[in-house]
Amino acid sequence: MSDRARKVINPINAIAVVVLLILVGCLHYEHIPVQEKRLTAREQAVVDNFHKLWQKNQKTWRENKWLGVQTLQNPMDIWITQEIIVETKPDFIVETGTFYGGSALVWATILQQVNPNGRVITVDIEDHTQEVKELPLWKEKVDFIVGSSVAPEVVGAVRKRVEGKKVMIIFDSDHHKDHVLKELFAYSPFVQVGGYIIVQDTSLSGHPVHQVTWSGPGPMEAVEEFLALDKHFEPDQGKERLLFTFCPRGFLKRVN
């Protein structure tokens, strides 16, 4: 065998070629759109059954806390939401459905790191913020509005605050279809191209769980009707990559 042939099949060269081929394969896989990486029916059944068990168990999301304040959120969705906040760096995060204020604290914590001048506006028909309003972060970063999220005076007050700013919206109040649809049409004009609306609990009404306190169409049905009528937004299903989400088809990105 010639010296040239030995050089070609040198073990180090062979290893380098193998590593290069692996890297090329990984890069090719990473560029496959997330929507094309479909779960099999069996895999989806596992995700759905876990979701049902999570919702049924009283010791899961109902006992979650942030900075000691009850926060009725799915940690997987919190992770994705913080990625969106870091990516878009909104000036305002508008949340409907405050409850005890834990989720507003989460958004304020993250926003403080990426946009120190940003603020959270949170809206609810009732005031349960007695505990959270004593925290320094709440006083510094959060504005609380008492009222219906779809009342003209509330929508007007929010519009006045956020006009001309980068805005992100999170809906987590009344989950009936009609209410969510009204929220979508009222608040979607506040979001700029590249920004997001997150419609929480689209998993209700059998997607894959059923709400026990009411029946009928819910957030998913509102999203589907909204998307059929408003072509400015598309569901960013890449934000569902962690598999378990309360917001299937609910991460809406403004594309034009």
Which conformational region is residue 89 in: left (phi greater than 0), alpha (psi within -120 to 50 degrees), or beta? left
- Compute the distance between CA of residue 122 and CA of residue 104 in angstroms, rounded to an integer: 7
Q: What is the pLDDT of residues 69-110, one digit of tens each?
A: 999 899 999 999 999 999 999 999 999 999 999 999 999 999
Mean pLDDT of 179-196: 98
Residue-averaged pLDDT of the chain: 87
Q: Are 174 and 180 in contact (CB under 8 A)?
A: yes
Would you kindly state where each structural domain of the chain is located, as residue ranges? 64-254
Q: What is the pLDDT of residues 199-256, one digit of tens each?
A: 999 999 888 888 777 678 999 999 999 999 999 999 999 999 999 999 999 999 999 9
Apex 222 CA angle, 216 and 226, nearest 5 = 155
Q: Are 66 and 99 in contact (CB under 8 A)?
A: no
How is residue 172 written in tokens? 């987590």
Q: What is the pLDDT of residues 23-48, one digit of tens each?
A: 334 444 344 444 446 789 999 999 98
- In this prediction the pTM is 0.83
- Find tokens 């059954």 and name the residue: 49
Q: Does domain 64-254 have CATH number 1.10.10.10?
A: no
Distance between start and end Cα atoms, the chain: 64
Q: Is the pLDDT of residue 14 over 50?
A: no
